[in-house]
């Protein structure tokens, strides 16, 4: 599959096999095979990936916020193996369920400190 990363992949929504939003493609990670040929190995999503792509003062600020919200800093990007991608169209569609992926630290913090404190939140569908 031939991709133009900037146009066809970066900033595209990532959805699981049920159509639930996982995040956006903030960056990518390449690997090199035994013959020395580079290939797309992982899609990266989350504040740490976006911060690295943006760089500078804004990038450092994003990392600082993510680390502050994390239970176990430093925050790492969510790495989704490219092999989990079923297809790329208006979104990047995965073969897996969102529940099988780790939750981003900001989402876990918001759930623990805000959402779970809302009366009846434990009965809401997740």
The answer for residues whose C-beta is within 8 angstroms of residue 82's C-beta and 6 or more apart is 39, 40, 41, 42, 43
- Give me the domain span that covers residue 66: 5-123
Domains of the chain: total: 1
Instruction: For 28-60, write each residue's pLDDT tens digit.
Output: 999 999 999 999 999 998 888 888 888 899 888
Q: Closest Cα partner for 103 from 63, 66, 58, 59?
A: 66
Residue 113 scores a pLDDT above 70: no
Q: According to the model, what pLDDT value does residue 119 have?
A: 78
Burial of 105 (0-12, 13-18, 19+ CB in 10 A): buried
Instruction: For 47-96, write each residue's pLDDT tens digit.
Output: 888 888 888 998 888 888 877 877 777 778 889 999 999 999 999 999 99
Q: According to the model, what pLDDT value does residue 104 have?
A: 65
Query: What CA–CA distance (Å, rounded) separates 94 from 83?
Result: 9
Q: What is the CATH number of the domain that holds 28?
A: 2.30.30.240
């Amino acid at each position: 599959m031939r991709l133009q990363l900037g146009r066809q992949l970066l900033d595209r929504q990532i959805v699981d096999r049920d159509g639930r939003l996982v995040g956006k493609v903030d960056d990518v990670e390449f690997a090199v095979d035994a013959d020395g040929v580079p290939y797309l190995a992982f899609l990266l999503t989350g504040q740490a990936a976006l911060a690295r792509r943006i760089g500078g003062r804004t990038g450092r600020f994003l990392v600082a916020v993510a680390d502050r919200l994390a239970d176990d800093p430093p925050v790492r990007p969510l790495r989704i193996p490219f092999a989990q991608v079923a297809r790329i169209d208006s979104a990047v569609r995965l073969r897996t369920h969102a529940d099988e992926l780790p939750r981003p630290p900001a989402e876990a913090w918001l759930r623990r400190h805000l959402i779970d404190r809302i009366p009846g939140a434990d009965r809401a569908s997740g």
